[in-house]
Structure 1
Amino acid sequence: MQETTTLAPEATAPAPDVPAGGEEAAGPGRPSLWRSRNFLLLWTGQTVGELGAQISTVAVPLLAATTLKASVFQISLLTFLSWLPYLLFSLPAGVIADRVDQRRLMIWCDLGRMALMASLPVVALVSELSLWHLYTVVGLTGVLTVLFNIAYKSKLPRMVEAHQLVDGNAKLSMSKDFAELIGPSISGVLIGLVGATRTFFGNGLAFLVSAVTLFLIKEPPGAGPVERDAEEQDRTPLRTQMTEGLSFIRRQPILRKILACTTTSNFWVMAAGSIEVTFMVRELRAPSWMVGLVFSVSAVGGLAVGALTQRISQRVGTARIIWVSMAVPGPLYLLMPLAQPGWGVLLYGLGLAAFSANAVLYNVAATSYQQSITPTQLLGRVNASFLWICYGAIPLGALTGGLLASALGLRTALLICVLGTWSAALFVYCSPLRGMRDMPETAPGEER
C-alpha cells in the first residue's frame, strides 16, 4: 500500500547549502547515518515496533475467530476500526503534533499502545475476554497510532540534514519490509506456542522497546517543538489550524499530484488486497503455506530495493524517481491476475514483489520531497492532511474490490484493480516532476 512514511536521525534542521539527494558521506560535513547514535536508536526501535505490528496483524483476527468465535462481519469490523481513526483524528492530530514536543508525544503513544495490548492477555487471565474489549483496544490503539505516525513523520526533517532524508527514509522503509517478511511467521509460531491471547504480550514488549529507544535519543539544541506565537495561536480558530495543511498542499502543484497519485494507488491496492487471498485460495487452489510463501516473496522485493534506494535515487534523480518508480514496474503487476494453479501462483508473488519495490522507491522519494519543501511549523498538519485523504480511500477501496469480484469474478476484478493501481502513475507523470531531476529544498515562495 502506498503511503508517505518517514523517521529520524541526528543533527538539526536541513542545511540550506547541501543539495538534497547528494552522496551520503561525501566529506567531513556530511556524516553517515551509520555513525548517528540517534538514528540507530530510532531505527532499532521502529524495526521492533513494525515487527510487533505485523504480529498483531495476524493475531487480532485469529483471536477474534478462534477464541471469541466472531462472525466474518464481526472480524471485518476490526479492520474498519483500525483505519477509522485516520478519518476522524488525522487533522486535529496534526495540530497537536505541531504544538507539542513530538518525541515525548511518541513515547506516550508507545506506552499507551503497550498498555492496551497487554490488557488483552491480562483480562483473559483474570476474567472472560469479550469482543467489545477487543474492539475498544483496536480503536484506541488506532488513535494513538495516528498521533504517533504524524509526530514521527514531522520529526525527521528536524533531526537530519537535507542530504540524509532519502537515505534515512529508505532505511526505515526497509524495517517495514523486514517486518512483513518475518512478522507473520513469528506470529504463527507464538500463537502455536502460547496461544493467540498471550501473543499480545509480545506486542506490548515491542511498543516498550520503541518507547525506550525514543527516550534514549539525545536531541541537539533547536530540535524541539516549533512554537507559534501564543497570541497568534489563541487568535487562530482550531478549524483554520486544522485546514492549514490542506491549504499549503493546494498551493503546491507537485504535492497535489503526489497526493492524487498516492490516494488513487491506495484505493486500488486495497481493492486488490481485499480479494487477493480469496483469489489464491479459490481460483488458484493454493494451500495456506503457499499463500504465505507468496507474501514472503513480495516482501523480498521491497527489502532488495530498500537497500539500494539511495543509489537508485542518486542515479535517476531524487525528484524524477517519483514518477519513474510508479510507471516502470506497472507491466509486472499484470502477473497477478495471470497467475495459475500450482507453482504458477508464484507469479502473483512476483507481481507483488514488483509493487513492493515500487512502493519503497515511491514512498521514500515522495516523503522526502514533501519534507524538503514544507515549512517546519506546518509539517504536522501537512502530514495529517496526507494521511486523512490517502488513508480515507482505503475502506472505500476494500468495498470496491468486493463488489467488483461479486459482479465480474475474481480474476477480472483483480485485472481491473492492478490496472487502476498502474493508472495512478499518470498523476505524477503529467506533472512538473517530469521536467525535474532533483528535489528542491524549499517550495517556491515558501520559507522553512
Structure 2
Amino acid sequence: MSQSQDAEALDEERGGAAEPIVADGPNPVPERSLWHDGNFLTLWSGQTLSEFGAQISMLGIPVLAVVLLDATAFQVGVLDAAGLVAFLLIGLPAGVWVDRMRKRHVMIWADAVRAVAIATIPLMWMLGALHIWQLYAIAFVIGVATVFFDVSYQSVIPSLVRPGQIAEANGKLQATQQVAQLAGPAIGGGLISLVSAPFAMIVTACTYVVSFVALLLTRDHEVPRPAHEHEPMLREIGEGLRWVFGNRYLRRIVGTTGTSNFFNIVAMTMLPIFLLRELGMTAAAMGLIFSLGAVGGVVGAIATPHIVRGVGEARAIPLSAIGFSVVGVFLPLAAMTPLIAFPLLVAQSFIAGFTVLVYNITQVTFRQRITPPRLLGRMNASVRFVVWGVMPIASLLSGTLGTWLGIVPTMWIGAVGQLLSALFVVAGPFWAMRTLPDAETVPA
C-alpha cells in the first residue's frame, strides 16, 4: 500500500498491459508485443515470482515483530527504517558502481544476498534465538542488496528492448508488483496463519532463488563503460545529481515523489499496529485488505496507455499525483471509524494503486527515454536517494510520533503532508503540453 514504492516506490507489471503507451514522440510502437520476446519474458517471469515473495515478507516481518516479538511503536519504526536506510547511506555511490558494471550481473548478486538473508529468519526462530535487533540487521542487509537491485532494475530495460518498447516494458514490469500485491498479501496472510510468520519467509527466499536463475538465463546487450572513462566517484555522483536536478521536469517529479513517500511512510508505518492491535484483525485479514486494494494497481496499469492517449503524457503526471495525494486522507478516516475501516482501507488502496501506477509508468518511461545510457544508473540512484532516502527518516519519525502522540494522530500528520506532495508537478509546466520532450529537446 505504500505509494512510493516507488513508492519509487516504487515500478511494475500487469498481465493486461501488453499494449504499449503511445505518445507523440519519435519512438515507433513496435510491431510485435513483448509477450513474443522470450528473453524479456524470462526476466519478467523471475521478477513476477520475486515480487510475490517480497509481498509475503513485507507482510510477514512486521507481523512477526508485532505479534511474536511484541514490538513497540518505536521498534516498528526502527525496523522499517533499517530496511530503507541503505538508500540514504549508499544510494548515490551505488549509482556510480552500477554504471560501471553489467546491471544484470548486479541484480544476480543482489538476489543471492536477499535469499540468504531472508532464510536466516526461520533458522534463528527454530533455534530460539530470534530477537528484534536481529530483524533490524536482516532488514538492513536486505535493504543494501535492494538498493543495488532496484537501481540496476530501473536502468537495465534499455539494454533488453528496443527504444520503442521501453514504455511497454515499463508497463509490464510496473504491473508485476501490482499483480503481486493483488494476491501476495492474501497468500502471505494465509501462509502466516498456517505455518507462522518465520516459516512463511522460506517462500520468499525461494522466490529470490527463482529470480536469480531467471536473471542468469536472461541476455542483454549492455556494454559497460571502459575503465579509462571512469572518473573520481564524487565527480560522477555530481554528474548524476546535476542531470536530475538540472532538469526542470525531473526535479519536480522528484519533489512530488519524495514528499509523497515521506508522509505516506509516516502514516503507513503505524498501520500494522493499528490493524493488528487496535482493530484486532488477523494477519490474513490484513493481507486481504492489501490484496483487494491492489486491484486498483492492476486496473491503473491497464488504463495507463488509454489515459496517456486521452489527456496526454505530460498531463497524466499532475492528474495522477492529485489522485494519490488526496486519497491519503482515507487512511486516518478509517482509523477514526472502525465500523467502516475495512471498506475505507480497500478504497484508499484501490485509488492510490491506480493513480500511482499511472504516475510511475509515465514518469519512469520519461526518465529512461531522456537519459543517456552511461548515466542511467546514476540518474536512478540520484532519484532514489531522495525519494527512498526520506523513507527511513519518516519511519523513525513515525515511531517517535506514534509513541508520543498516538497512532491515529500520527496517521493524520502523514495524510495532511501527502496533500501537499502534488504541488510540485501541479504547479509545473506539465499542463501546457501533451507530450514530454525527448532527449534531444529536453530543456534544463
What does residue range 402-417 of structure 1 map to in structure 2 within 5 Å?
Answer: 414-417=411-414
Task: Figure out how many residues of one structure are paired with residues of the other and give that number.
Answer: 426
* Aligned match of 1:104: 105
* Aligned match of 1:91: 92
What does residue range 19-58 of structure 1 map to in structure 2 within 5 Å?
Answer: 20=25, 24-25=29-30, 30-58=31-59
Deviation, 1:329, is 5.7
Q: Mark the structure with the bigger radius of gyration.
A: 1
Give deviations 1:417-444, integer Å, cap 9, x for gaps.
3343232222112222222212333154
Give deviations 1:309-330, integer Å, cap 9, x for gaps.
2222222222221111112565
* Aligned match of 1:12: none
Cα pair 1:21 1:164 within 8 Å, conserved: no
Do residues 213 (structure 1) and 214 (structure 2) align? yes
- Amino acid corresponding to residue 239 of structure 1 in structure 2: L
* Aligned match of 1:13: none
* Aligned match of 2:256: 261
* Aligned match of 1:301: 296
* Aligned match of 2:19: none
- Amino acid corresponding to residue 35 of structure 1 in structure 2: H
Cα pair 2:297 2:357 within 8 Å, conserved: yes
Hey, what's the Cα distance between the residues in 2 that align with 1:91 and 1:178?
30
* Aligned match of 1:14: none
* Aligned match of 1:431: 428
Do residues 393 (structure 1) and 421 (structure 2) align? no
Among candidates 256, 265, 269, match of residue 274 of structure 1: 269
Are residues 70 and 251 of structure 1, via their aligned partners in 2, closer, same or farther at CA, if it must alter by over 3 Å? closer
Deviation, 1:66, is 5.5
Cα pair 1:20 1:162 within 8 Å, conserved: no
Cα pair 1:7 1:155 within 8 Å, conserved: no
- TM-score, normalized by length of structure 1? 0.84
- TM-score, normalized by length of structure 2? 0.85
Identity of aligned residues (%): 34
Hey, what's the Cα distance between the residues in 1 that align with 2:44 and 2:139?
25
Cα pair 1:279 1:410 within 8 Å, conserved: yes
Q: Tell me, what secondary structure is at the counterpart of 2:269?
A: helix
Do residues 140 (structure 1) and 141 (structure 2) align? yes
Do residues 355 (structure 1) and 352 (structure 2) align? yes
* Aligned match of 1:227: 225
Q: Tell me, what secondary structure is at the counterpart of 1:442?
A: coil
What does residue range 58-73 of structure 1 map to in structure 2 within 5 Å?
Answer: 58-65=59-66, 73=74
Are residues 404 and 152 of structure 1, via their aligned partners in 2, closer, same or farther at CA, if it must alter by over 3 Å? same
Are residues 142 and 344 of structure 1, via their aligned partners in 2, closer, same or farther at CA, if it must alter by over 3 Å? closer
Deviation, 1:120, is 3.3
- Unaligned ranges ≥5, structure 1: 9-17
Hey, what's the Cα distance between the residues in 2 that align with 1:169 and 1:194?
35
- Amino acid corresponding to residue 237 of structure 2 in structure 1: M
Q: Which moved more, 1:367-376 or 1:437-446?
A: 437-446
Cα pair 1:102 1:225 within 8 Å, conserved: no
Hey, what's the Cα distance between the residues in 1 that align with 2:24 and 2:197?
49
Q: Which moved more, 1:66-75 or 1:155-164?
A: 66-75
Among candidates 321, 327, 349, match of residue 316 of structure 2: 321
- Unaligned ranges ≥5, structure 2: 14-22
* Aligned match of 1:372: 369
Give deviations 1:317-355, integer Å, cap 9, x for gaps.
222211111125655444444443323641232123211
Deviation, 1:387, is 0.9
Q: Which moved more, 1:331-340 or 1:76-85?
A: 331-340
- Amino acid corresponding to residue 321 of structure 1 in structure 2: A
Cα pair 1:53 1:203 within 8 Å, conserved: yes
Are residues 73 and 424 of structure 1, via their aligned partners in 2, closer, same or farther at CA, if it must alter by over 3 Å? closer
Cα pair 2:66 2:273 within 8 Å, conserved: no
Cα pair 1:21 1:165 within 8 Å, conserved: no
Hey, what's the Cα distance between the residues in 2 that align with 1:95 and 1:75?
32
- Cα root mean square deviation, aligned: 3.0
Do residues 199 (structure 1) and 217 (structure 2) align? no
Give deviations 1:183-213, integer Å, cap 9, x for gaps.
2222233233333333222122101110111
Hey, what's the Cα distance between the residues in 1 that align with 2:341 and 2:117?
42
Instruction: Considering Cα pairs closer than 8 Å and 6+ residues apart, tell me whether 1 or 2 has the greater RCO.
Output: 2
Hey, what's the Cα distance between the residues in 2 that align with 1:427 and 1:355?
18
Hey, what's the Cα distance between the residues in 1 that align with 2:136 and 2:296?
34
Deviation, 1:415, is 4.6
Q: Tell me, what secondary structure is at the counterpart of 1:440?
A: coil
Cα pair 1:286 1:341 within 8 Å, conserved: no
Hey, what's the Cα distance between the residues in 1 that align with 2:401 and 2:66?
26
Hey, what's the Cα distance between the residues in 2 that align with 1:347 and 1:185?
18
* Aligned match of 1:186: 187
Q: Which moved more, 1:156-165 or 1:249-258?
A: 156-165
Are residues 193 and 164 of structure 1, via their aligned partners in 2, closer, same or farther at CA, if it must alter by over 3 Å? same
Are residues 405 and 102 of structure 1, via their aligned partners in 2, closer, same or farther at CA, if it must alter by over 3 Å? closer
- Amino acid corresponding to residue 294 of structure 2 in structure 1: A
Deviation, 1:395, is 2.8
Cα pair 1:7 1:152 within 8 Å, conserved: no
Hey, what's the Cα distance between the residues in 2 that align with 1:191 and 1:7?
25
Cα pair 1:246 1:385 within 8 Å, conserved: yes
Are residues 314 and 200 of structure 1, via their aligned partners in 2, closer, same or farther at CA, if it must alter by over 3 Å? same
Hey, what's the Cα distance between the residues in 2 that align with 1:399 and 1:77?
6
- Amino acid corresponding to residue 244 of structure 1 in structure 2: E
Are residues 240 and 35 of structure 1, via their aligned partners in 2, closer, same or farther at CA, if it must alter by over 3 Å? same
Hey, what's the Cα distance between the residues in 2 that align with 1:445 and 1:188?
46
Cα pair 2:77 2:269 within 8 Å, conserved: no
- Amino acid corresponding to residue 368 of structure 2 in structure 1: Q
* Aligned match of 2:164: 163
Cα pair 1:325 1:361 within 8 Å, conserved: yes
Hey, what's the Cα distance between the residues in 2 that align with 1:45 and 1:414?
35
Deviation, 1:116, is 2.1
Cα pair 1:87 1:388 within 8 Å, conserved: yes
* Aligned match of 1:151: 152
Among candidates 241, 244, 250, match of residue 239 of structure 2: 244
